[in-house]
């Protein structure tokens, strides 16, 4: 498995005190893209990244995963299990979780982007939504959905897992409910432009 080496960042920052009476900076918007396997989360993120990344107002950090890189839609960084555990202990992740036997992490650098007023779009597990809401407000939860038959077809065409594993994923899709005033539901059964443009519009209205 190809391993991307990781080391703790070097150097430090000099804290600058704000001017008296200066308005506190507004945090950027953290966009949590969630949904069941096969819903097309990475496709929606890729659509938005192609149209927004050049502006510098929206960032799309790479996830760190203990899975070998492939030719699929997600561009992620691969680390070993040992390195993943070390990174967790050293505070390298803003958010991290485990699913399907793999470790996933979102780089801690998103805190700097948010503090600078940039919007950050990340693909995360529904299990970390509450933690993200508590630690990185304001948050927008983009819940990507599709009918079960669409999910099944996409997972089968992906060719990564056995029929039994696909069935397990389909049955697992309802474990976490996504509710709240900060939730945007994106039905991604149709053209990618429909859900992608809806998320871009939400980003624009959120100050991105």
Residues placed in the known binding site for ATP: 35-42
For residue 66, what are its two tokens? Answer: 């203990």
Q: Are 61 and 110 in contact (CB under 8 A)?
A: yes
Per the omega criterion (within 30 degrees of 0), is the bond before 78 cis? no
For residue 15, what are its two tokens? Answer: 């804290």
Q: Are 68 and 76 in contact (CB under 8 A)?
A: no
Annotated binding site: 35-42
Q: Are 90 and 2 in contact (CB under 8 A)?
A: no
Identify which of 72, 61, 46, 59 has the alpha carbon closest to the alpha carbon of residue 106. Answer: 61
For residue 1, what are its two tokens? Answer: 């498995």
């Amino acid at each position: 498995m190809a391993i991307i080496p990781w080391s703790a960042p070097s150097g430090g920052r000099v804290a600058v005190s704000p001017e008296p009476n200066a308005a506190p900076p507004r945090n950027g918007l953290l966009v949590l893209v969630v949904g069941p396997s096969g819903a097309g989360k990475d496709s929606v993120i890729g659509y938005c990244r192609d149209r927004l990344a050049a502006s510098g107002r929206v960032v799309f950090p790479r996830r760190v995963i203990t899975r070998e890189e492939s030719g699929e839609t997600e561009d992620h960084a691969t680390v070993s299990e040992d390195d993943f555990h070390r990174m967790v202990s050293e505070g390298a992740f803003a958010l991290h979780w485990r699913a399907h036997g793999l470790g996933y992490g979102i780089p801690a650098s998103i805190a700097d982007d948010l503090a600078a007023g940039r919007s950050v779009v990340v693909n995360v597990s529904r299990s970390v939504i509450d933690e993200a809401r508590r630690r990185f407000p304001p948050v927008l939860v983009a819940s990507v959905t599709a009918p079960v038959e669409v999910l099944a077809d996409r997972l089968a065409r992906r060719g990564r897992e056995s029929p039994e594993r696909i069935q397990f994923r389909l049955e697992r899709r309802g474990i976490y409910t996504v509710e709240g005033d900060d939730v945007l539901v994106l039905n991604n059964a149709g053209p990618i432009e429909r859900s992608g443009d809806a998320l871009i519009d939400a980003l624009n209205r959120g100050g991105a």
